């Protein structure tokens, strides 16, 4: 019996939990003995997130191509360059076929801003090796990404603590 083809999951929307859900899939993949790679397009080396710490301990390859949130960046050209470099790493991770799971965390932002070639992203996803599953996250997922996905989940914000002035909390938000 042949193996079922790999899947593409997209977590989008204005609600909290897009990356968190993706990292849950990372843990499932690791538990099944998969090789897993996470590429973060916005988070910078300065951000020390709990998921990365435990993921690295479990053998997840964790790559950061961002230099922080774009709206905080003093040099958007540098941010764009880092996003393009992150995409090159992601494209290689997908095409190489060594990973059963590749997470493209917050990829929708550089796609929407024109920092990376959306058609190249979609082509890489469509032409991925048979065993390479993809999870893509971020707000405002482009129509082509939604169309390429097998499963799309939209996170809907009902209320968020930040709206009441409560800052992100270690252990809950990062």
| Residue 48 confidence (pLDDT) | 60
Structure tokens at 60: 């997840």
User: How far is residue 14's CA from residue 143's CA, in Å, rounded to a whole number?
Assistant: 16
Indicate the burial class of 151 (C-beta count within 10 angstroms; 0-12, 13-18, 19 or more).
exposed
- What is the pairing mode between strands 8-12 and 36-40? unpaired
Q: Is the pLDDT of residue 71 over 50?
A: no
| Domains of the chain by residue range | 8-16+29-157
DSSP state of 53: H
Domain 8-16+29-157 grouped into CATH 3.40.50.300: yes
Share of the chain above pLDDT 90, in %: 74
Provide the whole-model pTM: 0.90
**Which is more confident, 37 or 65?**
37
| Residue 70 confidence (pLDDT) | 44
| Residue 67 confidence (pLDDT) | 46
pLDDT digits (tens, 9 = 90+) for 99-126: 999 999 999 999 999 999 999 999 999 9
């Amino acid at each position: 019996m042949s193996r079922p083809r790999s899947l593409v999951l997209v977590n989008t929307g204005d609600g909290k939990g897009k990356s968190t859900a993706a990292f849950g899939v990372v843990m499932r993949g690791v538990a099944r003995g998969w090789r897993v790679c996470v590429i973060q397009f916005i988070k910078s080396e300065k951000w020390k997130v709990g998921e990365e710490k435990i993921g690295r301990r479990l053998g997840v390859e964790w790559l950061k191509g961002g230099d922080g949130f774009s709206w905080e960046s003093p040099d958007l050209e540098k941010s764009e360059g880092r996003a393009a470099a992150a995409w090159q790493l992601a494209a290689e991770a997908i095409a190489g076929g060594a990973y059963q799971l590749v997470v493209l965390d917050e990829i929708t932002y550089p796609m929407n801003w024109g920092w990376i070639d959306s058609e190249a992203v979609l082509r890489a996803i469509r032409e991925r090796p048979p065993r390479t599953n993809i999870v893509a996250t971020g707000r405002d997922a482009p129509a082509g990404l939604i169309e390429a996905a097998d499963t799309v989940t939209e996170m809907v914000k009902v209320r968020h603590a930040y709206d009441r002035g409560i800052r992100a909390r270690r252990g809950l938000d990062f």
